[in-house]
Amino acid sequence: MIALPKIRLPKIRLPKFFGARAALALMVCALAAPAAWAERAEDAALRAAVSAERARATAPRFDRVAFLGKPRLLGIWLSPDGRRIAYLRESGRNRGLWLLPAGGGTARRLLLDTDATRVAFTRDSRWLLLESPRQLSALAVAGQPGSGAIAKLGGRWPRRFMGADPVMPAAAIVLESPPRVSRKPRQWRLYRVRVDGTQTLLHASARQLVDFAFDDDGRLAFVSQAERDKYVIYRLDRPATSDAHGARRARPREAMRCVDLQRCSLLAATDRGRGLLLGTDAGSGFHRLAHLDADGRLRTLHADPRGEADLDEVVLDPATREPLIAGYRSTVATNYGLTAQARGHVDAIERRYPRRNLRIEVGAGPGAHWLVHERGGEIKGERLHVYDPATRRFRDPIDEAGFQSRGKPVAPLPASAMARKIAFSYPASDGMRLHGFLLVPPGVDAARAPLIAFVHGGPFNLFRPEFSSTSQFLANRGYVVFESNFRGSTGHGRAYVQAARGDFGNGRVQQDIVEGVRYLLAQGIGDARRVGIVGASFGGYSALQGVTFQPELFKVGIAAVPPADFGWVLRWYARSLDALSPGILFPETLRLLSLDPFDVAIAERLRAQSPIANAARLRRPLLLLAGGDDERVPVRSVTHYAAQLRALDKDLTLFIDARARHQLEDPRTREAYLYLMERTLHRALGGPAPAPPDKALRDQLRRDVLIDGGAAAGTSGAAR
C-alpha cells in the first residue's frame, strides 16, 4: 500500500469579519472528516507514484516468449539444521536433485534424473524425502545406507505425503483416504512412516482428516476433521488405560469448532498436548496467529498491525517449534519477528530487501543459516539469498538457474525495466474501501496511455504483491494495468470475502471493477477512450460482463476459459468431487458464500445477467480462448456462446486448443494467447502491433483459431 504522509490540517487564514463562532464551526467540520482527508492524501500519493514512473527510462520491448519462461529451479529447501540446501533443477528433459552447503561451497548432484515434484528434509536433516506422483522415497544426505522407496502414493486407497514428521527424526507423515466408491466403511488414516519403510497408524476416523498437530514427545495431540459444513478440532488426551488389544488409544475430545468457513490451521501442540498453536480467523475478522489454551480460551498472539491483511505464513523454530516469524502478503508484503532475537534478524533482512515479498526459512543449531526467498512485482521468479544470523551477512547461493520454455533457455527479464506494482485502495460507491494494484509502463504518460482492467480468476482468489506475467507483458507494450481485489477476493479478511454476498452477475462485484477503472480515470490515469478488460476463468467471465453491460467504458474484451453463464457452470462443476475447502463439499461451500448453485432464485438472477443471455447487446470486439479438455468450464459452453455471437455477426475471434485443460499450460498455446491478445488490443485500442509469429506458431494459429474476427476486419492475422 502506498505510504501515506502524516495528515496535517492546513492553516486557515480567515477574513477579519469572520466571527469566532464561524471559525470554530469551520474547524469542527475539518476535524469531523478525517476519512476524507485520508482519502485525499492517498489519492495524492497515488498520483505522485504514477508521476515517478513517468520519470523513469522507457523500457525496451521484450520478446513475448520471455514472459512465458518457467524457472529451471522447481523448488529449493533449507535443512532444519540450516547447514544444507536441496533443490530440483531442470536441464532440458532431465530433472536433477542437487545438494548445496548453506555456508558456501560447491553443489553436489545427488540424482541425475528424478520424477520428484517436492522435497523435504527430515527433522534430523539426515534424509531427504522425495515426493513423486506414485511413491515417497527416502534418500540419505550423508551416504548412510537404506535409501529407496518407503511408501506408495496415489492408488485405489489414495495416499498423500503430508510432510516430514515435525517432531520425530527420520520419519514422514502420510494420510490415507478411502476410495471414492467402496463397499467397506470409509476411514481416513494418518500414518507415521520411517525411512526404513515401517509405518505406525497414528489415528483413524470415519470423518475426513484435514490437519493435525504433535506434542514435543511426538504424540499426536490434536486433529482437525471436516464435518459437513464446518471443521472440528479434537484434542487427543493421553490415555489412562489400554484397550482390549493392549494398545493405548487416545480419546478424542472436542476442543474447538470452526464454522461458517472459518479457517483453522493447526501448527503445533504446546504444554504437553494441552494447548494448541494455530492460525485462525475464528473470533476475528482476520486470519491471525492464536493459541488455544487448555481451558478452551483462544488468545491472539499476532495479527496484521495494519488491520487489513490475513496472516499468510508462520515460521516455527525447527528445534523448539516456537513461532519466530509472521508473514502478511495481501497488499504490502511484510514479515514480523515474534521474539526479540528473531525481530532483529527479520528487520535486518527487510532492510536489505525493502518493498519485497520475502519468504524466510530458518535453521536452528550451531552454524545454522537462513534462506531468504525474494519475490517482487518486477522480479520474474524468485531470487535466493543465504543469511548468516551470526554475522548478519548475506550471500547469493545459486545464480545459474535461469528460465526455459519448451526446453530451451529464455533470456531473463531485467527487473529495472519492469513496471513497478503500486498498491492502492479506492472507494466503492457504497462506502466500502477496496484494494488493488496499478502497473504503469516506465517513461509513459499515464494520462494518454490505454488502460486495461486485468481481473483475477476464482473469484475467491487475489492479486498479490508479486510478478504477474500477463500484467507485465501488457505494461511492456505500453498499457496501464489495473488489478482489482474486488470484494469476494481473499486475503483481506472474512468480511471482505463475504461482502460479495453472491452478487457475481452484472451486480456489485462487477461494479467494484468498473468503479476502480472510473476512479483511476478520475485521477488522470488512463485514456478514457481506450479502455479494455482482460481475464481468465472468472476473470474471463468479468471481461464478458464488461463488454456486454459496460460498452461505453470497455472498448474490447479478452476472455480465456470463461463461463458465459456463471450459474450454469457452477451447477455443472458442483457435481464433481472437487472442493474449495478440504473435506467440505463444493455446493456447501458455495452456499456459505451466498452462491448456492441449486438455489432457484440465484440461478435465475445469474442466468438473466449472463453474457450468453445478453449476447445481442455485445458491440465490442471480443477474443475468446478455451481448452477442449477443460475440467472446470466445459468447452461446449464456450462454443455455444461463440455460435450465438457468430449468428449475430459479432466481432469475435475464437481460439481452442483441443488438448488443453483449464490452465492452458502448453507453452505454445500460452504464446498464442499473448500474440492474439496483443493483436486484438492493437486493433481496438491502438497499442503496438505484435511481432510476426514464427512458422510453428503460425501453424498452430491456422489449426486452432476457428473464428478470426481480426482477419475479417482486415488486420494482418496469421491465421488468415
CB atoms within 10 A of CB 408: 11
Instruction: Answer for the pair 492, 484: CB distance below 8 angstroms, yes or no.
Output: no
Cα separations in angstroms, 312 against 118, 172, 302, 326: 21, 24, 12, 8
Taking the model in full, what pTM does it have?
Answer: 0.90
Cα separations in angstroms, 308 against 249, 467, 490: 43, 21, 11
- Interacting residues of 379 by C-beta distance below 8 A, sequence separation 6+: 356, 415, 418, 466, 467
The pLDDT value recorded for residue 28 is 47
The pLDDT value recorded for residue 1 is 45
**DSSP letter (8 states) at residue 499:** T
pLDDT confidence band for 184 (50 / 70 / 90): confident
For range 497-521, the mean pLDDT = 95
First to last CA, the chain: 46
* Dihedral angle of Cα 54, 518, 622, 687, to the nearest 10 degrees: -20
CB atoms within 10 A of CB 242: 10
Name the nearest CA neighbour of 163 among 278, 318, 276, 280: 318
pLDDT confidence band for 712 (50 / 70 / 90): very low
Instruction: Answer for the pair 472, 418: CB distance below 8 angstroms, yes or no.
Output: yes
Least confident of 340-354, 397-411, 451-465: 397-411
Name the nearest CA neighbour of 619 among 580, 575, 652, 576: 652
The pLDDT value recorded for residue 5 is 34
The pLDDT value recorded for residue 713 is 45
- ω into residue 459 within 30 of 0, thus cis? yes
Instruction: Answer for the pair 292, 255: CB distance below 8 angstroms, yes or no.
Output: yes
Tell me the pLDDT tens digit for each residue of 424-448: 999 999 999 999 999 999 999 999 9
Question: Quick check: 711 pLDDT over 60?
Answer: no
d(CA 386, CA 572): 48
Instruction: Answer for the pair 124, 116: CB distance below 8 angstroms, yes or no.
Output: no
Tell me the pLDDT tens digit for each residue of 695-707: 999 999 999 999 9
d(CA 71, CA 595): 37
For range 149-171, the mean pLDDT = 93
Name the nearest CA neighbour of 212 among 171, 287, 272, 267: 267
CB atoms within 10 A of CB 716: 13
Cα separations in angstroms, 697 against 76, 630, 656, 708: 33, 22, 14, 15
The pLDDT value recorded for residue 6 is 34
Region of 416 please: left (phi>0), alpha (psi -120 to 50) or beta: alpha
Sign of CA dihedral 483, 484, 488, 491: positive
Least confident of 227-241, 303-317, 340-354: 227-241
pLDDT confidence band for 600 (50 / 70 / 90): very high
- Interacting residues of 240 by C-beta distance below 8 A, sequence separation 6+: none
The pLDDT value recorded for residue 182 is 64
Tell me the pLDDT tens digit for each residue of 1-42: 443 333 333 333 434 434 444 444 445 444 455 656 667 888
The pLDDT value recorded for residue 401 is 66
Task: Read off the C-alpha cell for 356.
Answer: 519485497
Task: Read off the C-alpha cell for 720.
Answer: 488468415
d(CA 658, CA 643): 17
Name the nearest CA neighbour of 256 among 264, 248, 246: 264
Name the nearest CA neighbour of 422 among 46, 43, 41, 54: 46
d(CA 355, CA 690): 33
Map grid coordinates 520419519 to a residue: 171
Question: DSSP labels for 153-220?
Answer: -BTTTTEEEEEE-SSSSSEEEEEE---SS-SSPP-EEEEEEETTS-EEEEEEESSEEEEEEE-TTS-E
Question: Quick check: 345 pLDDT over 60?
Answer: yes
The pLDDT value recorded for residue 675 is 97
For range 328-332, the mean pLDDT = 91
d(CA 35, CA 331): 20
Name the 3-class secondary structure at 295: coil
The pLDDT value recorded for residue 145 is 62
pLDDT confidence band for 618 (50 / 70 / 90): very high
Amino acid at 544: L
Domains of the chain: 39-66+421-565+620-712 (3.40.50.1820), 566-609 (no CATH)
d(CA 673, CA 675): 6
CB atoms within 10 A of CB 407: 10
Distance of CA 582 to the CA centre of its chain: 17
d(CA 456, CA 475): 17
- Interacting residues of 328 by C-beta distance below 8 A, sequence separation 6+: 304, 306, 309, 310, 311, 312, 334, 335, 336
Amino acid at 635: V
Amino acid at 359: R
Least confident of 168-172, 195-199, 248-252, 415-419: 248-252
**DSSP letter (8 states) at residue 67:** G
**DSSP letter (8 states) at residue 575:** T
d(CA 55, CA 14): 39
For range 577-593, the mean pLDDT = 82
- Interacting residues of 210 by C-beta distance below 8 A, sequence separation 6+: 224, 225, 226, 231, 582, 583
For range 202-228, the mean pLDDT = 95
For range 590-606, the mean pLDDT = 92
Q: What percent of the chain has pLDDT over 70?
A: 89
pLDDT confidence band for 718 (50 / 70 / 90): very low
d(CA 264, CA 255): 12
Least confident of 101-115, 542-556, 650-664, 706-720: 706-720
Question: Quick check: 569 pLDDT over 50?
Answer: yes
CB atoms within 10 A of CB 448: 11
The pLDDT value recorded for residue 249 is 61
What mean pLDDT value characterizes the chain? 89
Please provide the size of the chain in residues: 720
d(CA 406, CA 427): 44
Cα separations in angstroms, 150 against 155, 175, 269, 388, 590: 15, 14, 27, 34, 39
The pLDDT value recorded for residue 398 is 83
Question: Quick check: 637 pLDDT over 80?
Answer: yes
Sort 60 into a burial class: Cβ within 10 Å, 0-12 / 13-18 / 19+. exposed
d(CA 561, CA 627): 7
Tell me the pLDDT tens digit for each residue of 535-554: 999 999 999 999 999 999 99
Distance of CA 630 to the CA centre of its chain: 21
d(CA 614, CA 616): 5
- Interacting residues of 424 by C-beta distance below 8 A, sequence separation 6+: 1, 2, 42, 45, 46, 49, 435, 436, 437, 438
Tell me the pLDDT tens digit for each residue of 147-158: 789 899 988 889
Question: Quick check: 245 pLDDT over 50?
Answer: no
Instruction: Answer for the pair 162, 153: CB distance below 8 angstroms, yes or no.
Output: no
